[in-house]
Amino acid sequence: MSRQHVQSMQLKDGIAWTGIHVDDVWKRKVRLLICHAMGAQPGFDLSQYYPRSKIDIIVKRILHMDMDAFFAAVEQKRRPDIIGKPVVIGGSGDPSKRGVVSTASYEARKFGIHSAMPLCTAYKLCPNAVFLPVDYEEYSRISGIIKDALRGITPILEDVGIDEAFLDISDVKGTSEEIASEIKKKVHAATGLTCSIGIAQNKLLAKIASDMKKPDGLTLIDEKDIADCIWPLTVRKLWGVGPKTEAHLKVLQINTIGDLAAQPIEALVEEFGTAYGSFLHSASRGIDDSELVTHWEPKSSSRETTFQTDIDNWQQIAKHLADLSREVSKDLKRSGYKGKTVTIKIRFSDFKTVTRAKTLEHATDVLEEIRKAAFDCLGRVELKGKKVRLIGVRAGNLEKADCAG
Ligand SMILES: [Mg+2]
């Protein structure tokens, strides 16, 4: 705790607060400790006793993004003839064969079709639905595009599946609404698809929140919303409560998260063991200290454009190269990285691709430096008599901006 400095402050009811500025886990533990010391119930709003600005230092801002009916939406996007129709994606796409529903479009959900349901049941509920096979390759490709867009917001991202992710936006500039709307815009611009977003102080609540107003929803949950928004929900909405636990809880007449929160911890520990019992107790109160699992450091930041029609006009090529350099510089600044190697990629109309790279003296995120390096690279490409199909700019050899020279 070398960075700690202690500032004492008298709270309204006389409890001394020590503002210990240490790492985030400790900050939250200190905060919880204060709530417990004050005999606070879940939903207790510490801010009434403590200035908001100080609270913000302590509370994390976690965002959960979940694509809306992802597989079905991808299929509807590439096949406009099935927009607005009930679409069921699953197995081989043949409802007379074995297989379960992976995703049902919102139109299909109106017939009671949901994921994990056997395809034959879905067919009985809506014989007119469009049944399609799962095309993982395409969904993964789109997923990659989405995750790249999200990493432009922050590199602190936990990839939790093909169509969802957690982002720690504690240090991202802007209000939660602004950040959410930027993400929605980016995802839509890159894919034409919509997503739903939940923002809360931890992963547990953010995940519940993103599911509350689908599709294209945005839900912010604060600690004081727990009783109103979370407690009425069924226990299955808690991450980590599966059908088995749900059945077990039902026997104990515990149906909602609120029912669970009303249980003394001893009763839950006795019933479910120490680890899971205490987990259920904390989770029902919206408490979750788990960190984002990122295991991810960006290796490069890149942007590319494929032209509607191939171009051979040097000025147009130069304009696109300058635009892409600007995007890469922006991405780097936003994510807090600097790149040392600038690479350009040019794909010609015959699909032959060339790359040229330039390594700089020092890592940079400055537009002029990136653009100059990109144009140096372009000067080393023979363009005469060739048509260009795609141009890309990449900054590699990344270093964290605060330790880069
Ligand atoms: Mg989804």
pLDDT digits (tens, 9 = 90+) for 47-56: 555 544 444 4
User: Residue 104 has what DSSP assignment?
Assistant: E
CA of 136 to the centre of ligand 1 (A): 14
CA distances from 378 to 190, 302, 343, 393 (A): 26, 16, 10, 10
Q: Maximum distance among all alpha carbons in the chain?
A: 80
Query: pTM here?
Result: 0.61
CB crowding 383-395: b at 16 or more within 10 Å, else e: eeebebbbbbbbb
Look at 24-28, 35-39, 77-81, 297-301 and tell me which has the smallest mean pLDDT: 24-28
| Helix (H) or strand (E) run with residue 369 in it | helix 367-378
Q: Is the peptide bond before 95 cis (omega within 30 degrees of 0)?
A: no
CATH class of domain segment(s) 300-400: alpha beta
Q: How confident is the model at residue 343 (pLDDT cuts 50, 70, 90)?
A: very high
Residues in a beta bridge with 356? 344
In percent, the amount of the chain with pLDDT more than 90 equals 62
Q: CA 339, 343, 348: angle at the middle one, nearest 5?
A: 155
8-19 pLDDT, tens digit per residue, is 333 333 333 333
66-89 pLDDT, tens digit per residue, is 999 999 999 999 999 999 999 999
Residues in a beta bridge with 198? 64, 219
Residue 159 near residue 298 (C-beta atoms within 8 A): no
Nearest to 323 by CA among 312, 307, 336, 339: 307
Mean pLDDT for all residues in the chain: 85
**According to the model, what pLDDT value does residue 4 have?**
32
CB atoms inside a 10 Å sphere around CB 202: 21
Fold assignment, 234-284: DNA polymerase; domain 1 (1.10.150)
Q: How confident is the model at residue 29 (pLDDT cuts 50, 70, 90)?
A: low
CA of 60 to the centre of ligand 1 (A): 24
CA of 157 to the centre of ligand 1 (A): 17
Spell out the domain ranges in the chain.
8-58, 60-221, 234-284, 300-400
Q: Inform me whether the pLDDT recorded for 370 exceeds 70.
A: yes
Residue 393 near residue 342 (C-beta atoms within 8 A): yes
296-323 average pLDDT score: 85
Fold assignment, 60-221: Alpha-Beta Plaits (3.30.70)
Catalytic residue, from 107, 158, 164, 327: name it.
164
273-289 pLDDT, tens digit per residue, is 998 999 999 999 999 98
The dihedrals phi and psi of 207, each to the nearest 5 degrees, come to: -65, -40
Nearest to 148 by CA among 179, 180, 183, 99: 183
Known catalytic residue at 107: no
Residue 166 near residue 28 (C-beta atoms within 8 A): no
CA of 195 to the centre of ligand 1 (A): 8
243-263 average pLDDT score: 95
| Helix (H) or strand (E) run with residue 220 in it | strand 218-220
CA of 164 to the centre of ligand 1 (A): 6
**According to the model, what pLDDT value does residue 161 have?**
80
